A and B are shown apart, each in its own frame.
Chain A
Amino acid sequence: MEKYDPARTKNWYILGDSTTEGVHLIEQDVNFNTSMGGLLPEQSQESLTHMSHVLDVACGPGGWALELAQAHAHMQVTGIDISSNMIEYANAQARASGLDNARFKVGNITEPLDFPNESFDLVNARHIEEVIPVTAFPPLFQELYRITRRGGVIRITGSEWGVTNSFAYETLMRRLLRASRIAGLDFSADGRNLGITPWLRRFLREVGCVNIQERPSFLDFSAGMAQHDSGYRDLTLAFELMQPFLVGVGAAAPQEFEELKQRLSVEMLENSFRGIVYTLTAWGQKP
């Protein structure tokens, strides 16, 4: 797997852009959509009918954007992502479905966006805390505001990485948070959590959005819950794929990492296993 090197690739994403990650993100989207109650559960039916141009930033392999285009034929959905692999993946899926209203192109969201002012009725960003450094957030939100139409909506979703009763999971998360801090991806004061969720409302307010609202959701992957198996698979893959990141920034030794993954496999099989990931969506209107 490719070495984690954002200075060279301009790609900060901690799980890389391999085909495995493309497939994994499509599956993860399904899990998050389920736990969040749908694609845009907080938007009224009436407001959806008025949204014709939608942008999904850092869209990955296009899971959310493709589902939205499928569900709302009147919408023109555009996705951008820094990875040409992910964009090829998304375009292949769009062609396979015959979706004429979904298109994807390569774009770096840490730079000015290649769209005219006031192009979109809805601009959506999910889990970009794993994709760009903390310092890139304020200029990105200025750009999102610029390309949103008056009366349009900017919507952002972020997650904290969960609380469990597994020793291995918590240890791996500590290593991950340390690595995120070194890489400049951590919002928290002391590195005990990612700390993105309290910032979402503020980013929207600072660029001038009004009518800002928030909606929490959670994904329960405890033993016996419907999302336990998919949660296990998701985590197994995520830890496999983040090894170059953790080892690359010096936050974990390969031997210790292997032992923790093995221990996690056992702990997640126990009937007593409990784990929840918390997610917050915030959205505001451009006046």
Chain B
Amino acid sequence: MEKPSSWRDLLKDIIGDYVERERIANEIGIRSITLTRWTTGESTPRPQNLRQLVHALPKQHRDQLTLLLEEEHVDLTDPVSSEPPDEIDYQFIRQVFEARATTPSNLLFWTLCRKVLQHALRRLDPERIGMAITVAQCMPASSDGKVHSLRERMGLGTPPWPGDLEQHAMFLGAESLAGHVVTNCRQEVINDLRESASLLPAYQLEHEVSAVAHPILYANMVAGCLLLSSTQPKYFLSASRLSLIADYAQLIALAFTPEQFVLPEQIELRLMPTAEQQHRLFVTFQQRILEVMKKSLNAGRAVTRMEAEQIVWQQFEEELIHTSALSRIERT
């Protein structure tokens, strides 16, 4: 083979292998077409992408690429000082601790979760090829002392998903990846939801091709899970990306109070109805909150909006479990 004369030529040779092209694109967090565009000069990578590219290549190609980049005086230095490839920047972790220490309790969950999700989304999908990150929380235990479902409480996304996923939130039960992860208290990955080979339970949401969930743990108890979806297959194959996700789940755990964690043996998830069935019920959400707040105001013991929401979510959970059980009986 002729010796490549530029870094673009070298990259072109390397990504001639389809599998290698997909692997490198996944490692960097870009579409494979972007790699091709770099080779033709249609687009130029940012210095951060070039550093990731060097890191993603096997040793023999890595040295050659670095040499060619130096010959072409391509600047790989980073004035902002980039983060370690598989760790969360300590400066950010320190900010999270500080926020936890100084934020009033009524704003703590929203502030910490949102802050960590904003950072995670930028870090895990820097080129915005499509990701959704959701915090799913265990619903309070029912009268039998068991947790029967999870509720997607907060989520952020990059296109094709909306920026704020709250409108798309739903209850998750035993039929979901999140439910499986919370029940077993360990991280699980589905590399391609289009294939039926996976033994793990999962919905396939619109646009979702691969998914991972990591439990939110404290003192051997669980409060829910961090759920990530990607538009790309095998996006969560990379060990360093999975390690980052585990770290973000640890940070999210700081947003929960100790009382929100339950023992694994208290998790007894039920099957929840489809997203369509759930959203048909959710259209009454605001009306129901209004009723709860007005009723409590008339009774002389006003509840806050947050308390009213919690009451309505518990009503919804009961109704959905009932609906799901009825439709199973009808099918049998």
* Residues of A that sit less than 8 Å from B by CB: 1, 18-20, 22-23, 26-27, 30, 70, 73, 88-89, 91-103, 223, 229-230, 236-237, 240, 262, 265-266, 269-270
Contacts and interface: CB of A to CB of B under 8 A. Distances in A.
Interface string B281-299: 0000011011001100100
Central interface residue in A89, A237, A270, by most chain B CB within 10 Å: A89
Interface string B70-110: 00000000111111000001011001001100111011001
Given A23-B111, A230-B164, A96 B289 contact: no
B101 to A, nearest CB: 10
Contact of B163 (A19, A23, A30, A94): A30
Interface residues of B, number: 47
A285 to B, nearest CB: 30
A27 B104 contact: no
A19 B79 CA distance: 25
A97 B126 contact: yes
B293 A266 contact: yes
8 contacts: A19-B102, A20-B107, A93-B119, A95-B81, A98-B126, A262-B302, A269-B287, A270-B290
B79 A103 contact: yes
A99 B80 contact: yes
Nearest to B290: A269
Given A23-B118, A100-B46, A269-B286, A92 B95 contact: yes
B83 A95 contact: yes
Contact of B78 (A100, A230, A265): A100
A286 B44 CA distance: 32
Contact of A89 (B52, B95, B102, B297): B95
Contacts, number: 104
A82 to B, nearest CB: 18
Nearest to A93: B122
A19 B103 contact: yes
Given A96-B119, A266-B297, 17 more contacts: A23-B111, A23-B114, A26-B118, A27-B114, A91-B80, A95-B81, A98-B46, A98-B83, A98-B126, A100-B78, A103-B79, A230-B164, A236-B305, A237-B107, A265-B293, A266-B290, A269-B290
A25 to B, nearest CB: 11
Contact of A229 (B46, B111, B122, B166): B166
A102 B163 CA distance: 21
Contact of B95 (A88, A98, A100, A101): A88
B167 interface: yes
Contacts of B23: none
A265 B118 CA distance: 26
A238 to B, nearest CB: 12
A270 B92 CA distance: 40
Nearest to A61: B118
Given A93-B122, A100-B80, A269-B289, A88 B91 contact: yes
B89 A96 contact: yes
Q: Which 10 A-B pairs have the closest CB atoms?
A: A98-B48, A19-B99, A96-B122, A96-B123, A97-B122, A265-B305, A269-B290, A20-B111, A23-B114, A92-B92
